[in-house]
Amino acid sequence: MSILEVVLFLNFVLVCIFAYVNKYQALNNVVMYSIIILLSGASAFQYLVMDPVDYGQYKIIFNNYPDSLSSVYIQGHEPGFNFLNWLFKLLNFSFESFIFFITFILFYGVVQLLGLFNRDKLLIFLSMITLVVFFNLSSNLYRQAIATSLVLMALAHNRSILKQLAMVLLATMFHISALITLPYFAIQGRKSPVFLLTVVTLSLLLFFIGLDKVVLYFVNLMSILTDNISYSSFARIESNMLSNDKVQYAYRSYYFFSIFLVVLFAFNYKKGKGEVKCASLETQWRFVNFLAYGALIYSATYSIGAFSRLGIYFYIISPIILFFVSKLLLNYSSAKIILVCFSCFSCFGLLLVKNIYLT
């Protein structure tokens, strides 16, 4: 870890402390949007400090993207992302501005989600952007970053199920994996601890019996059947289905952490029937259901390199659930302290993961 990264970590600690004691919403927003612009710019120009593989591949695609509008429909099966490539090339914008825009869209989805909270937006924001899964989205998985942003916005706007489904379908135009979130919206309104514990039990069962190997078999079979189809998703999944990237261990830690949080909420949710300063009880249930559903999906796919990324859609809100559970078990002030500690620990862990596994 370099001296620069140590300095950045110490400054992050100071920002977390500021977020804890600050009572002025305007200052929270100033700090939050300053961080968004800074990190979006860092993602756009990351080649100045490291040589990211996917970043370089996206640049090659962008620079060689056809000028014809018809290319949006023939260059693969994710026309939303293809359209962005075509539009930025048409406007003669640089690749760096293209990446900046994508990363900013990711942050926009987070900000929309935080609109459900009356306070502590900055503190929750800090706890989310230091996750390894968020780092992967903002610096590497650009197509899925846009899809994740749209899924978060669908999660935030729950007044119309049709609007939610439309946003998820739009997300699939950027990354087809967003389809996996659709079934959640049929269960988002459930408020049953028995249901949560059932999902958790099933998830752990699937995880330990190795259902992922059965899924792997069908992926391999579908890859053979679709071998002649250009840009086949199954063929692309098969190409890295045996991936054992050590970053996946971070994803597995999020899985067990999520299971732990869901169980704690299921046994303690009644303590939140009184005054709720962080979010409504309905919102808490929807978010916990989302995380529980994500854990179930991950348990059946965790060893498959490409499929393990499905967990990203769900684990990104795990700090929010931590905040909910901490408040239920302790109190509002203690929940804020726990979130500050989690944010700092997460940031330090991110720096370690980046140095050990990503360099």
Q: What is the pLDDT of residue 308?
A: 64
Tens digit of each residue's pLDDT (9 = 90 or more) over 268-311: 888 765 445 567 888 899 999 999 999 998 887 766 656 667 88
Tokens of 128: 């989310």
- Give one DSSP letter per residue of 100-142, joined into a string: HHHHHHHHHHHHHHHTT-SS-HHHHHHHHHTSHHHHHHHHT-H
Q: What is the pLDDT of residue 63?
A: 86
Q: What is the pLDDT of residue 309?
A: 76
Cα gap 301→142, rounded to integer Å: 21
Q: What is the pLDDT of residue 354?
A: 66
Residues 52-55: contacts with CB within 8 Å, 24+ apart?
Answer: 52/139, 52/140, 54/140, 54/141, 54/142, 55/99, 55/139, 55/140
Q: What is the pLDDT of residue 232?
A: 45
Cα gap 347→40, rounded to integer Å: 17
Chain centroid to Cα 147, Å, comes to 9
Q: What is the pLDDT of residue 216?
A: 66
Q: Find the largest Cα–Cα distance for the chain.
A: 59
Cα gap 141→355, rounded to integer Å: 18
Q: What is the pLDDT of residue 242?
A: 45
- Give one DSSP letter per residue of 62-110, joined into a string: HHT--SSTTHHHHSSS-HHHHHHHHHHHHTT--HHHHHHHHHHHHHHHH
Q: What is the pLDDT of residue 251?
A: 77
Q: Write down the pTM of the prediction.
A: 0.87
Cα gap 30→26, rounded to integer Å: 6
Tens digit of each residue's pLDDT (9 = 90 or more) over 143-199: 899 999 999 999 998 778 899 999 999 999 998 889 999 999 999 989 999 999 999
Q: What is the pLDDT of residue 139?
A: 82
DSSP 150: H
Cα gap 166→74, rounded to integer Å: 23
Low-confidence ranges of the chain (pLDDT < 50): 226, 229-232, 234, 238, 241-244, 274-275, 358-359
